[in-house]
Chains A and B, each alone.
Chain A
Amino acid sequence: MSYFFQQTFNGLVTGSFYALLSLGLAVIFGMLGVVNFAHGAFYMLGAFGAYFLLQEAAIGFWWALLLAPLGVGILGMILERLLFRRLYRLDPLYNFLLAFGLTLMLQDAMRLRYGVQGQPYGTPDALKGAVNLGLFAYPTYRLFTIVFAIAICVVVWYVITRTRVGMIVRAATEKPDLTRALGINVDRWVTPVFGFGIALAALAGVLAAPMRNVSPLMGSDLIIVVFAVVVIGGLGSIFGAVLAGFLIGIITTLGAVFYPSLANTLVFILMAVVLLWRPAGLFGNPEGT
């Protein structure tokens, strides 16, 4: 029984990454209508940012948790201003393709600089060891990841649904022209929101650094799994993104325990089932495409 709980917690850890990434995708999609294929690359950049800060400037995990997402978020804002902005009026496919090109560039640049081998990143001292949860002991760092990710998701959800900033963002997402007519400068919000979504991906990357090897390709397979998560949750739904993230994390981890060969395909099988049953995803709006 304790083994089962332990695996559930492992599922929550995986789910934390899925949830943070798909939340960032949902925020960017909601505001800009961009399906950001480069999200995985920004996740990878977040992890490399933490690695770089530690190696080159001896800046540890806690500061990296703040600085790496900030830096990657700013990079995202620059890219939005220079590149993405030019394609908003066109078919969303072009933004998707632009992000794909960026992914190739970022991944390969990191490969040239650091090679394909993973770089190790130590667990921060304060989070070493394990916590006794009664039934079983669980690694402190993993527990921290779960709690931190849930906290971030709750804060983002709160800001978007309960504050004035969130109200503007939601209004601008749903009815940009009407919002403009009410005297709100929608375009001013686009760049920061894009940067924020990117920063969420980078944050997930920093969290992943002590747990998984920091490597140029760490984001490329993850992003496709997260796309499946997003399809299951229903793209455009913030709530769906987070809930599906954690849920899929738990289901796939437990599934992999019982049928190990299914580990990597289970999420796509789930996606196929959900698509058959609800083409718009679990929490998606069937009216939208």
Chain B
Amino acid sequence: MSNRAMQRSLLGAALIFVLALPQLVYPILALDILLWGLFALALNLLLGYGGLLSFGHAAFWGSAAYAAGIAAKQWGLPFPLAALSGMVVAVLLALPIGYLSIRRTGIYFSMVTLAFAQMIFYIVNQWRGVTGGENGLQGIPRTLWGLNLSDPTIFYYAVLPLVLLGFWLTFRVVHSPFGHVLVAIRDNEARARALGYPTDRYKLIVFLISAGLSGLAGGLFALGHGFTALEVVHWTTSGTVVMMTILGGIGTLWGGIVGAALVLLLRDWLSNWTDAWGVITGAIFVLVVLSFRRGIWGTLLQRTAGREQRS
């Protein structure tokens, strides 16, 4: 099969998969897989293509969750506009955070993003009048110009176009000249700068795109569940999305959703047996980092690439 034909059949299979998902698992879990998948994809854009591991993406996912929740609950906005408000808030936050964070590279970048995300966590926790503090926001409505979307299956299909738009946008970014410059910066920043590319500007822009897409996913997450709690801005959320990304495969477009699906299905399945979820997650994470660094999708890609070369 040629590369292009393979990509097209893959795309078709993926589309059928997301369309059938609410029939395969219960709808809320299906929605979670979709949204965490988009979140992981957004992180992967920054990590896999920009070489920047943000350990504070909960700031964007979480602040958008709150913003979308408030927009829907207080102002009665229909869900696409509420999700959009969340996205806007995430991008606005990402501007100063990104500007300061990209001044450092590698592990320092991770630490700085983590610290900023924690700042957002404290603000959300303190600002009780708006965010509800430790109680979170309850009873977030899901409407679309009068239409009531409280049925989770219907909401899933209502959200799907927005999420697919997010996926499509990421694919376009990766395959655009911008995406290629990004990879060049990741591989050798000094060389890219010597070639005349304003590397800081590229890094900031990809940070903003990544934060915006995370915000889109986070806003829809809050709307889908009808409530939002402090957990969405906690650092463990940042860690979870990094784990999904690595489990799926760094620098692969499909890895995010594969990783998200696997983690969420595993969590769902394990919760019937034990509440030692943290121990098991941590152990999986340690194992992946130690011996499975390409991730599931990354390994598959490598295998197929190897076979093609041999044949």
Q: Which residues of A does B touch, CB under 8 Å? A: 35, 83, 86-87, 90-94, 96-98, 100-109, 111-112, 220-221, 224-225, 227-228, 230-231, 235, 261, 264-265, 268-269, 271-272, 275-276, 279, 289
Contact = CB atoms under 8 A, between A and B. Distances in A.
29 contacts: A35-B107, A35-B110, A35-B111, A83-B286, A86-B290, A93-B106, A96-B55, A97-B242, A97-B289, A98-B289, A101-B284, A101-B289, A106-B282, A108-B279, A108-B281, A108-B282, A112-B279, A224-B115, A227-B111, A228-B115, A230-B111, A231-B112, A264-B122, A265-B123, A268-B115, A268-B119, A272-B96, A275-B100, A276-B100
B48 to A, nearest CB: 12
Contacts of B79: none
Contacts of A108: 276-279, 281-282
Given A35-B107, A92-B106, A265-B122, A105 B283 contact: yes
Contacts of A272: 96, 100, 116
Contacts of B172: none
B204 to A, nearest CB: 15
Interface string B171-200: 000000000000000000000000000000
Nearest to B239: A100
Contacts of B108: 231, 235, 289
Interface in B208-242: 235-236, 239, 242
B175 to A, nearest CB: 25
B118 interface: yes
Given A83-B286, A93-B110, A104 B281 contact: yes
Shortest 7 CB-CB distances between A and B: which pairs? A108-B278, A104-B282, A105-B282, A101-B285, A268-B119, A101-B286, A264-B122
A122 B239 CA distance: 35
A103 B282 contact: yes
Contact of A275 (B53, B104, B122, B275): B104
Given A35-B111, A264-B126, A289-B104, 4 more contacts: A35-B107, A97-B246, A108-B279, A225-B118
B105 interface: yes
A289 B189 CA distance: 12
A101 B111 CA distance: 16
B114 interface: yes
A225 B279 CA distance: 24
Given A105-B286, A228-B115, A269-B119, A289 B53 contact: no
B201 interface: no
A91 B293 CA distance: 11
A87 B118 contact: no
Contact of A94 (B112, B281, B283, B293): B293
Nearest to B112: A231
A232 to B, nearest CB: 10
A228 B112 CA distance: 7
Interface string B66-110: 000000000000000000000000000000100010011111101
A23 B205 CA distance: 36
Contacts of B285: 97, 100-101, 104
B7 to A, nearest CB: 29
Binding site secondary structure of chain B: helix
B279 A96 contact: no
B104 A102 contact: no
A198 to B, nearest CB: 17
B193 to A, nearest CB: 15
A231 B106 CA distance: 13
Contacts of B110: 35, 93, 96
Contacts of A96: 53, 55, 107, 110
Nearest to B281: A104
A276 B100 CA distance: 7
B282 A101 contact: yes
Contacts of B293: 90, 94
Contacts of B279: 104-105, 108-109, 112
A275 B106 contact: no
Of B106, B107, B246, most A-chain CB atoms within 10 Å? B107
Given A104-B239, A275-B103, A289-B104, A93 B283 contact: no
Contacts of A83: 286, 290
A271 B277 contact: no
Given A86-B290, A224-B118, A227-B111, A279 B104 contact: yes
A261 B282 contact: no
Contacts of A109: 276, 278-279
Nearest to B108: A289
A15 B293 CA distance: 38
Interface in B12-56: 53, 55
Nearest to A96: B107
A264 B281 CA distance: 29
Contacts of A289: 104-106, 108
Contacts of B103: 275, 279
Contacts of A225: 118
B111 A105 contact: no
Contact of A271 (B96, B106, B112, B236): B112
A92 B276 CA distance: 28
A262 to B, nearest CB: 9
Contacts of B286: 83, 98, 101-102, 105
A268 B116 contact: yes
